[in-house]
Structure 1
């Protein structure tokens, strides 16, 4: 016998839909109140304020305590309704929304709705619901007033020269910081909501006419197919939309600085704002953008080019220095100068561990001290990490567990890794340092070379939303090489990145190189 039970349609997360929230409200205020109280049962932060406008209508205000500004509530809703009332007779009560828009449109936005699910979603976003007896609609007033952090300088992206403001956890505050810098109608901001329970607001920002339409379409598709119960931070989104999730290298840039987002938008990239987090995602990302610091574009090009070359050298040191030391001292002693080899051998006298095990142990301890310094309270975190490194390193050398040369190598490597501007890219090289050490301890220089080949092949195959990760090196675009190894003067960088833009590729017109003769001729 076939079962007569009907299959209940389910949403993407496997939960049956709630039909009680898709119906329209009635004109009975008491019935509407009961429906809302049933939906928000066991929610002590939901406030229901009922009163009667003299000789006109009974009104119910519903809002979440803490998400609505109390002063604006009194000025916008209570005072006009209680003391001023509505002009005319009771039949004019249907014009309450129009009256609020006419009188207080500059203070609050008013939106009439009829669906229960729209009312519930708006209340949970911090809007005030105004229900009037005898009306089959609800007026929603935007009176958001929840506590939020003030605009401060980002602690993770400090700069010597440049703006001092940073993003906060408020979505509209963050988008306004972008509007202050790019005052163009070409700046578009598309909104969507993710998370079945969190209902997190997401904004996709881009410059129309500059952004690549194919990249923009790919970003939209990847975001729209996300099915998750809640989005609490931008990392939730990043893991769903990156191209190669198992790669140690980040394929999406994140930042707390509005100026970094604006410069990326001007290069044709796309910014993804997530509510309740100060970190904004930027796509597509290249390997070289992870090595560019904020000061590179605020200081003179000669100085920043020199610093950038030093940064690349420190990047190689952070990845290869320990593995080269292990391979040379273990397998290829003939490549080490005699005096240096004698000094290293004397320092290792009495050390019971092989060089590779010794280096791995010190690297592990260094990473542990760095992690402890981050997790501990700020006043004592830095002191513990510095004092711990000094005490443990000195004690380990005196006890003969490790050699002084290994301590120097590990300390130099750790300092070099701090020179990488982007934390997530620096984390990738910290992670790769350990397999490189193992290859060096097993195969010597051949292992180091093999490891480098694997890393380069992996980087050449990576893509970020269809854009090659190593662009403009591979594929080679000479026009964009002015902002890779060095940073050319701004007046010489005429074109935007070719592979991530479409339409308007011209950034700076030619013929703007400053010179005294040119100024005299123009005058």
Structure 2
């Protein structure tokens, strides 16, 4: 117990130490007499279930000189520093006068909301529950779906100040050994002074900050998706106070999948996957390809009716303006109160209507094409993937303006190299297409739950 402060046999000295160590107005001390011996209960209001304090007080008895607790989970506190950490988590410290030992009673009761369907990952069929900010309830929703004794759950606590609880879940006989080894190495080597307040911050600490826009992990707010990936050999990370889980590892094609593909027949699921992938690739390449055809006046056999353009730079600026306006409207709808949503709809009509076209800000063709590619962004199941694809599309537009069709081809080549160089865990980002794995490719597109680990 080097560097730790032991408990004093005088109970109030321990309380004085706790008061000096933290300046909390809601630090509560209750004194109870048990068989003519004073017993002090120390807890913090707001995160401690006060309704569970009374049964504990009523159950305090001495059994052959030992203090007994009947209706609670009890552990012995090793030092005053450890006890203070537990108190701030919502547990209750029980100190007995004349004893150099103290006990921690689990009375945590965090404010929380009920499980509800996630607004981002909606489904016509399937479960209607979703992860919330209570990590124990999130764990229970996963356990409810997988009742396998080989489901391993490990607990970590990271952050010198936040002391955030982190749960790691995997099925021992399904997970790829290299996935587990890579995660264990990264979580063990986190900086000592690093603070963890969200799942995104944890991922940045584990994988570092990079200019690569593509997500290295997949986030989900649905426990059924987390359970499916556990059965496929993935690793799930739950972070307290965060209503989403982290799935490791992930690939480009995994980011495009949605829960409805597991609730339909194989034929319908296959068709829906094909339509979704078509929308994903259109959101990246359709608008730059159309710009190349317009700038080259369609030197192909398609014979598409293409508009006249004033110049490559002006044409590119018009496309960027239209795309930027649609992005502004999307962001404003996300962050504006519901009472203003109707007003934003009216504003969107003026911004994307006939007035800007009449003033020459952009043409009808530009507006139609930008609307189509943004619909492709909305079709993309992974929100982080859709944002990365949008950044790639904007880069391709700039390269088309600068280099025409040569810039477009160079941009596609750079995009492909970026995807090939992105790797999380043992699998490349374009797996199972590159390198090709027939069994895994079949599972990906036909919706089987078994993962090929070869």
The TM-score, its normalising length taken from structure 2, stands at 0.94
Contact 2:131 2:138 in 1 (8 A): yes
Deviations along 1:426-462, whole A, 9 cap, x unmatched? Answer: 0101111111001111212221111111111121122
**Is the partner of 1:51 in helix, strand or coil?**
strand
Whole-angstrom distance in 2 between the partners of 1:307 and 1:185: 35
Displacement of 1:56: 2.1
Counterpart in the other structure of 1:467: 427
Matches within 5 A, 1:354-503: 354-381=314-341, 383-394=342-353, 395-484=355-444, 486-487=445-446, 490=448, 495-498=450-453
Counterpart in the other structure of 1:35: 17
Deviates more, 1:361-370 or 1:190-199: 361-370
Choose from 225, 232, 238 the match for 2:203.
238
Displacement of 1:52: 2.8
**Quick check: which has more Rg, 1 or 2?**
1
Contact 1:24 1:114 in 2 (8 A): yes
Whole-angstrom distance in 2 between the partners of 1:385 and 1:465: 43
Counterpart in the other structure of 1:61: 41
Displacement of 1:331: 2.8
Matches within 5 A, 1:220-299: 220-227=184-191, 228-242=193-207, 245-299=210-264
Deviations along 1:25-77, whole A, 9 cap, x unmatched? Answer: 1211122121111112x210111112333x52111110010111111111222
Deviations along 1:334-360, whole A, 9 cap, x unmatched? Answer: 33755613xx23xx68x9972111101
Q: CA RMSD in A?
A: 2.1
Displacement of 1:243: 7.1
Whole-angstrom distance in 1 between the partners of 2:295 and 2:347: 29
Whole-angstrom distance in 1 between the partners of 2:208 and 2:250: 11
Unaligned runs of 5+ in 1: 1-17, 500-523
Contact 1:243 1:464 in 2 (8 A): no
- Aligned CA distance change for structure 1 residues 160 and 248 (closer, same or farther; 3 Å): same
Deviations along 1:281-306, whole A, 9 cap, x unmatched? Answer: 11010111001111111100111111
- Aligned CA distance change for structure 1 residues 301 and 38 (closer, same or farther; 3 Å): same
Whole-angstrom distance in 2 between the partners of 1:126 and 1:481: 47
Displacement of 1:385: 4.9
Unaligned runs of 5+ in 2: none
The TM-score, its normalising length taken from structure 1, stands at 0.82
Whole-angstrom distance in 2 between the partners of 1:452 and 1:72: 61
Counterpart in the other structure of 1:503: none
Choose from 50, 59, 62 the match for 1:80.
59
Whole-angstrom distance in 1 between the partners of 2:315 and 2:242: 44
Contact 1:352 1:401 in 2 (8 A): no
Whole-angstrom distance in 2 between the partners of 1:403 and 1:353: 15
Whole-angstrom distance in 1 between the partners of 2:419 and 2:177: 25
Deviates more, 1:475-484 or 1:403-412: 475-484
Counterpart in the other structure of 1:8: none
Choose from 183, 191, 194 the match for 1:219.
183
Whole-angstrom distance in 2 between the partners of 1:338 and 1:420: 30
Deviates more, 1:383-392 or 1:173-182: 383-392
Aligned residues: 451
**Is the partner of 1:340 in helix, strand or coil?**
coil
Displacement of 1:400: 2.4
Contact 2:298 2:304 in 1 (8 A): no
**Is the partner of 1:444 in helix, strand or coil?**
helix
Counterpart in the other structure of 1:157: 121
Choose from 108, 113, 127 the match for 2:77.
113
Displacement of 1:155: 1.1
Counterpart in the other structure of 1:512: none
Contact 2:133 2:243 in 1 (8 A): yes
